[in-house]
């Protein structure tokens, strides 16, 4: 395509990204924005560890510390981990099922811009009178009484970005249900696609309760309602339920795609079919299902009674079974394989013991009676960081290294990649392993400082030094990105040489229509099958024909921006006279542009056969 290969000015590139509906460009936007928020959240983590490095420290004040821990958790979960995983899903999943785009390209862009504006709104709180300070769980009993606008930023920002996530989830579901290439049955889908599918289903059912919780909190704080005002009949436990009915599935929304990434990496670099593929799929679905049955294990000490606690404890322990199935399958995938220790494989290999430790402490915490001891101590902090860093963040590093060539057309440096791994791996265990013991020794979580001579001093110092190592690891990754981008050595379709799935059968980066002809899928690891039979690429399932593509649009940006404006109105409701007009204007922008979207026909456009044949002669230059 001549228009695509053209050199563009900076302004044109920016406009291109503001209006794009191409899943591969939206993926880059997700990775960029998510990466940026990851750095912000990481910086907050460093501040926490500096403050706690020595007893009686006054690096930050108690109030600021509350804001920092709240924003660290909120940013990492909602604005870093999930968007980066969404970036991978966007970049890879449609390619893995042999689709030309997602089901709703326009909504895909809308989902991104909603997440982005929600995230920006949340972080503006730092500059507009203080960030939220009631913890990332924002329990109503604290949040209702928090002074200033911090909580309001949390409530409004998360509503906007949550809407984007929900839209993204529905989009991925429909894409996988309706747009698989000929022959790509459900039981031939790569595991990353499967985990995307199940995680999206979890998003669909888990985000509405969060939205309701946030709406109730918004009504209470800004519009005078009484859901959580006990004196007027309210009940703060409702928030805890709604939050955790969302919050627990959220853990699996994060970790299932991580499992998917590692499954791809294990089988690619063991150069072996994934062991127990169908049990992997079964375990994924089962984890997704059980994920909704365990939310009250976060509330063992709320006082729901022994029967409720017992039921939720048993359900929680049951999740260990499908997770165990997965662990063994990964081990057996490597068993007898011809294992290549690339940088992504380092992460995958280290993930297994790290994540198991998080799982073991998870079962310990699930024992309701024992939980009364662990609750609100550093033991819990250690547990969920082992799961989320040891699982999700490891997978993000692994995925970045693994799919970078497919997304950007050039390989990250392997040596620097391994250096990042060792720095981060050592730093991670140094920071969090000792925290198990800090918790058992009695150090409560969320305290801004502690007195000397309680036996916490050395352990906290060790933990803080670990954080330094992790930061160094991230810095090496950034250097790696810069060095690689400057060198920009172009790579071919299958740069690892061991690609098994469809994304490795097309150029890196793929042309904007992905597949010139939809591929015929003949089994699991579709591309590997063809390679083993001595073929260079996939057999096409259709003759060369016109390709239907969606039009770019600026409307997603505007729709999301309208809500961003309205959120400022809601924030200052009852305080300034302009608040209501601003809400109205913002909503008018949003609903007005939705109206424009519905009355203006958008049939997309066709790439004609002749242009595609041209590409054949010149080779695709995407």
Partner 1 sequence: MHAEEKLTYESWPAEPERSTLEAKNKFTGFWLFLGGETVLFSSLFATYLALKDKVPDSSMPLAKDLFELPLTFVATMLLLTSSLTSVYAIYQMKNFNFKKMMLWFGITALLGAAFLGSEVYEFTNYVHEGHKFTSSAFGSAFYTLVGFHGGHVAFGLMWCLTLMIRNAKRGLNLYNAPKFYVFSLYWHFIDVVWVFIFSVVYLMGMVG
Q: Which residues of this protein are in contact with partner 1, per CB under 8 A?
A: 103-104, 166, 170-171, 173-174, 177-179, 204-205, 207-209, 211-213, 215-216, 219-220, 223-227, 229, 231-235, 238, 241-242, 245, 595, 598-599, 601, 603
DSSP states of 258-319 as a string? HHHHHHHHHHHHTTSPPTTHHHHHHHHHHHHHHTTS-GGGGGGGG---HHHHHHHHHHHHHT
DSSP states of 25-39 as a string? HHHHHHHHHHHHHHH
Which of the 8 DSSP states describes residue 297? Answer: G
Please report the sign of the dihedral spanned by the C-alpha atoms of residue 319, residue 325, residue 326, residue 328.
positive
Choice between 102 and 315, CB closer to partner 1: 102
Q: How far apart are CA 165 and CA 210, in angstroms?
A: 12
CB of 232 to partner 1, least distance (A): 5
Q: How far apart are CA 229 and CA 372, in angstroms?
A: 27
Choice between 5 and 177, CB closer to partner 1: 177
Choice between 138 and 171, CB closer to partner 1: 171
Which of the 8 DSSP states describes residue 447? Answer: -
Q: How far apart are CA 419 and CA 430, in angstroms?
A: 16
CB of 519 to partner 1, least distance (A): 17
Nearby residues of 126 by Cβ (< 8 Å), 6 or more positions away: 67, 71
Choice between 166 and 474, CB closer to partner 1: 166
Choice between 246 and 404, CB closer to partner 1: 246
CB of 499 to partner 1, least distance (A): 28
Q: How far apart are CA 204 and CA 224, in angstroms?
A: 30
Q: Where are the alpha helices (DSSP H) in 125-190?
A: 140-143, 150-178
Q: How far apart are CA 170 and CA 206, in angstroms?
A: 12
Choice between 19 and 225, CB closer to partner 1: 225
Choice between 99 and 348, CB closer to partner 1: 99
For the record, the structure tokens of 113 come out as 């811009």
Task: Say if CB 361 and CB 383 are below 8 A apart.
Answer: yes
Task: Say if CB 512 and CB 22 are below 8 A apart.
Answer: yes
CB of 119 to partner 1, least distance (A): 21
Choice between 15 and 219, CB closer to partner 1: 219
CB of 370 to partner 1, least distance (A): 29
How many C-beta neighbours within 10 Å does residue 338 have? 10
CB of 591 to partner 1, least distance (A): 8
CB of 165 to partner 1, least distance (A): 11
Q: How far apart are CA 397 and CA 423, in angstroms?
A: 12
Task: Give the phi and the psi of residue 610 in degrees, each rounded to 5.
Answer: -65, -40
**Longest CA–CA separation in the chain, Å:** 78
Nearby residues of 158 by Cβ (< 8 Å), 6 or more positions away: 74, 78, 118, 122, 210, 214
Cis peptide before 537 (omega within 30 of 0): no
CB of 395 to partner 1, least distance (A): 26
Choice between 224 and 306, CB closer to partner 1: 224
Choice between 230 and 314, CB closer to partner 1: 230
CB of 226 to partner 1, least distance (A): 4
Q: How far apart are CA 49 and CA 60, in angstroms?
A: 11
CB of 215 to partner 1, least distance (A): 7
Choice between 600 and 618, CB closer to partner 1: 600
CB of 104 to partner 1, least distance (A): 6
Among candidates 202, 60, 27, 81, which has minimal Cα distance to 133? 60
């Amino acid at each position: 395509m001549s228009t695509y290969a053209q050199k563009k000015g900076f302004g044109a590139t920016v406009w291109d990204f503001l209006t794009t509906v191409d899943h591969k460009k939206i993926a880059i936007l997700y990775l960029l924005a998510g990466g940026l928020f990851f750095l912000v959240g990481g910086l907050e983590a460093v501040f926490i560890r500096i403050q706690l490095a020595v007893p009686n420290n006054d690096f930050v004040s108690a109030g600021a510390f509350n804001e920092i821990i709240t924003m660290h958790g909120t940013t990492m979960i909602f604005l870093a981990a999930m968007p980066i995983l969404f970036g991978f899903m966007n970049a890879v999943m449609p390619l893995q099922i042999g689709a030309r785009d997602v089901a709703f390209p326009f909504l895909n862009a809308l989902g991104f811009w909603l997440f982005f504006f929600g995230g920006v709104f949340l972080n503006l709180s730092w500059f507009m009178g203080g960030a939220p300070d009631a913890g990332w769980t924002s329990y109503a009993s604290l949040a209702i009484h928090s002074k200033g606008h911090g909580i309001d930023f949390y409530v409004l920002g998360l509503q906007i970005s949550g809407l984007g996530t929900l839209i993204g989830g529905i989009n991925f579901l429909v894409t996988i249900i309706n747009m698989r290439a000929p022959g790509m049955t459900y039981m031939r889908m790569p595991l990353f696609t499967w985990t995307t599918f199940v995680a999206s289903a979890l998003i669909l059912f888990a985000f509405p309760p969060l939205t309701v919780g946030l709406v109730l909190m918004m009504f209470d704080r800004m519009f005078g309602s009484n859901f959580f005002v006990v004196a007027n009949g309210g009940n703060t436990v409702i928030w805890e339920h709604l939050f955790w009915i969302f919050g627990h599935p959220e853990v699996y929304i994060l970790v299932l795609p991580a499992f998917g990434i590692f499954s791809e990496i294990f089988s690619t670099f063991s150069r072996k079919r994934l062991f127990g593929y169908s049990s992997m799929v079964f375990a994924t679905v089962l984890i997704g299902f059980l994920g909704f049955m365990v939310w009250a294990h976060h509330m063992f000490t709320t006082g729901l009674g022994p029967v409720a606690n017992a039921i939720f404890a048993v359900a929680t322990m049951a999740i260990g079974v499908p997770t165990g199935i997965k662990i063994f399958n990964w081990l057996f995938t490597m068993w007898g394989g011809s294992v290549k220790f690339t940088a992504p494989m380092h992460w995958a290999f280290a993930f297994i013991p790290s994540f198991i430790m998080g799982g073991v402490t998870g079962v310990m915490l699930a024992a309701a009676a024992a939980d009364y001891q662990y609750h609100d101590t550093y033991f819990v902090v250690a547990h969920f960081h082992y799961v989320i860093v040891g699982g999700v963040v490891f997978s993000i590093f692994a995925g970045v290294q693994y799919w970078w060539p497919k997304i950007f057309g050039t390989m990250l440096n392997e040596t620097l990649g391994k250096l990042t791994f060792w720095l981060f791996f050592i730093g991670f265990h140094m920071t969090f392993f000792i925290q198990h013991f800090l918790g058992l020794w009695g150090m409560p979580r969320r305290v801004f400082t502690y007195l000397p001579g309680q036996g916490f001093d050395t352990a906290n110092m060790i933990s803080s030094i670990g954080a330094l190592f992790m930061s160094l690891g991230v810095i090496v990754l950034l250097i790696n990105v810069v060095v690689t981008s400057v060198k920009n050595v172009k790579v071919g379709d299958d740069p690892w040489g061991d690609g098994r799935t469809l994304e490795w059968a097309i150029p890196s980066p793929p042309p904007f229509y992905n597949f010139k002809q939809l591929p015929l899928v003949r089994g699991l690891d579709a591309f590997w099958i063809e390679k083993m039979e001595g073929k260079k690429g996939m057999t096409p399932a259709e003759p060369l024909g016109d390709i239907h593509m969606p039009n770019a649009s600026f409307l997603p940006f505007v729709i999301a921006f309208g809500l961003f404006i309205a959120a400022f109105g809601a924030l200052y409701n009852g305080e300034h006279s302009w608040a209501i007009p601003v809400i109205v204007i913002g909503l008018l922008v949003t609903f007005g542009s939705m109206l424009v979207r519905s009355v203006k026909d958008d049939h997309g456009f066709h790439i004609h056969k002749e242009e595609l044949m041209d590409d054949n002669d010149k080779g695709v230059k995407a």
